[in-house]
Amino acid sequence: MKVVLFCGGLGMRMRDGVTNAPKPMAMIGDRPLLWHVMRYYAHYGHTEFVLCLGYGASAVKDFFLSYDETRSNDFVLEGAGRQIELFKTDISDWRITFVDTGLHSAIGERLRRVRRFVADEEMFLANYADVFTNAPLPDMVSRFASSNALISLLAVPPTSSHHVVDVGEDGLITQVTPVRDLRQWENGGFFVIRSEIFDYLNEGEDLVEDVIVRLVPQGRVLAYPHKGYWSPADTVKERAQLEEMFHRGNCPWMVWDPERSGQSAAATSAEVLALRDSAVVRA
């Protein structure tokens, strides 16, 4: 299945006063946020990507045009640096389409502008370029495929550390509840979509606030509740937390790396094909 990734927003909450790089290019370890999201999908065999670009498009393009496999893979150097033997590769089987979808476009409009690349697909995947999870993607897709929904999303518990309070008529607080304990769910991204969605998507609209809101009364929106790991990277603080986790080797979202993710070492069929024992040689 093709994967559409929305990576063209300004990401003002991510600004640290040091760099103007677009949010999806903020680094977690030796790779940007965007790469981690793409690697999650590739782990499950989905390696054809459509990137909806906007702000900082050149930074995204330059990263892949000058991609260095040695940054995240073990290798052998021979011939005074003229020959590199990689033990495995990250993106050799990826196909990436780069599309300028506007500087200020809403998510729905970005999706509408890449319609020609996915319209022939019965279903496709879509996501923000800055959210991580260890949710089982094959199960998400399977549940959606067996439903009548036009779109599904990952539903996650609220991540806020704040508290809500109930206030009586006399102004006294009667109850304090952590936001995370509310019986509510957040939109966690990781959409699975039928191409019929384009019949409901108008120019300039947002995917969630316009299209999904219209489809909910029709019973065409499915949620995949997930209480496992999920994390956004909307702010500098959240990115710093992810960076700290990476350096501790505690990376639940890295499902392709059993040692770091803590997941089973059993590889998917896609992983077996990608990591077969023949080494990759780059001259």
Tokens for 80? 């005074």
Q: Which pLDDT score is estimated for 74?
A: 81
The pLDDT value recorded for residue 81 is: 65
Beta strands in the chain (DSSP E): 2-7, 27-28, 31-32, 48-53, 75-78, 83-86, 95-100, 123-128, 131-133, 151-156, 163-167, 173-178, 186-187, 191-194, 221-225, 230-232, 280-282
Upper half-sphere CA count for residue 69 (Cβ side, 13 Å): 20
Q: Give tens-digit pLDDT for 214-249.
A: 999 999 999 999 999 999 988 888 999 999 999 999
Where is 271: in which H helix or E strand? Answer: helix 269-274
pTM of the model as a whole: 0.84
d(C-alpha 54, C-alpha 8), whole Å: 4
- b/e per residue 117-153 (b: at least 16 CB within 10 A): bbeeeebbbbbbbbbbbbbebeebbeebeeeebbbbb
Burial of 254 (0-12, 13-18, 19+ CB in 10 A): buried
Q: What is the pLDDT of residue 92?
A: 83
Res 8: pLDDT:
81
Entry field: residues in the chain? 283
Task: Note whether 214 and 200 are within 8 A (CB).
Answer: yes
9: tokens are 């927003």
Q: Residues 6 or more apart from 28 whose CB is under 8 A from it?
A: 36, 233, 239, 242, 243, 246
pLDDT of residue 127: 97
10-residue mean pLDDT series, the chain (283 residues): 90 51 88 95 97 94 88 79 77 93 94 95 96 96 97 89 83 80 85 96 94 96 95 89 93 93 56 37 35
From the centroid of its chain, how far is CA 84?
A: 31
Task: Give per-residue pLDDT as tens, 243-257.
Answer: 999 999 999 999 999
Q: What is the pLDDT of residue 84?
A: 81
**Domain spans in the chain, listed from the N-terminal domain onward:** 2-282
Does domain 2-282 correspond to CATH entry 3.30.565.10? no
